[in-house]
Amino acid sequence: MEGGESKEPLELAGVTGGSPVRSVSFTLTRGTQGNDHILDLTRELQAGIQETGIRTGQAVAMVVGSTAALTATEFEPGLVEEDLAATLERIAPRDGRYLHEETWNDDNGHSHVRASLVGPSLALPVVEGRVPLGTWQQIVLMDFDTRPRTREIVVNVMGVG
């Protein structure tokens, strides 16, 4: 069952005595169409990290609001315009029964449930000044609300320059 474990000693990077750890925050703002709109945040996130000058550390990104979520996927039309939404429609159907909607006379019970399952935030390592994503791996915002929204994604980057 187990894959083989790494045999070589770990190569530790970033143990630089001289430069102190810094902590830098910024906010990305994006307009969405709601309704499972998925947006690629990778370029802006990597650019923001580069702007901080931090080379080895951690980034955390969180979307403000409880009907949107952050995750990673290959950003190509099949996945982001159909497959991810189709799966979430099976898990939490738009036309399902939600007590949230009956209580608040609202229509976004499925939006809340989907957002809680995917999750509001992502923690990411920063190595050589960027998140070491794969070529076909992008950081995405998923907006599950039932109307267009303006979303704020708050980012903090911490580490050594």
Question: Residue 68 to residues 17, 33, 58: CA-CA distances in angstroms?
Answer: 40, 12, 22
Q: Does 146 bind a second copy (CB under 8 A)?
A: no
115's CB contacts (< 8 A; 6+ apart) are 66, 67, 68, 69, 142, 144
Q: Cβ of residue 148: shortest distance to a second copy, in angstroms?
A: 9
| DSSP 8-state symbol, 21 | P
Binding mask 71-110 for a second copy (x = CB under 8 A): xxxx-xxxxxxxxx--x--xxx-----xxxxxxx----x-
- Identify the residue among 28, 36, 89, 107 touching a second copy (CB under 8 A): 28
- Identify the residue among 57, 94, 144, 145 touching a second copy (CB under 8 A): 57
Contact 148, 72 (CB under 8 A): no
- Identify the residue among 35, 42, 44, 107 touching a second copy (CB under 8 A): 44
By CB under 8 A, the count of residues binding a second copy is 97
Task: Using the Cα atoms of residue 108, residue 68, residue 118 and residue 71 in order, give the sign of their dihedral.
Answer: positive
- Identify the residue among 127, 129, 130, 146 touching a second copy (CB under 8 A): 127
Q: Cβ of residue 78: shortest distance to a second copy, in angstroms?
A: 4
- Identify the residue among 52, 94, 144, 145 touching a second copy (CB under 8 A): 52
CA distance 4 to 7: 8
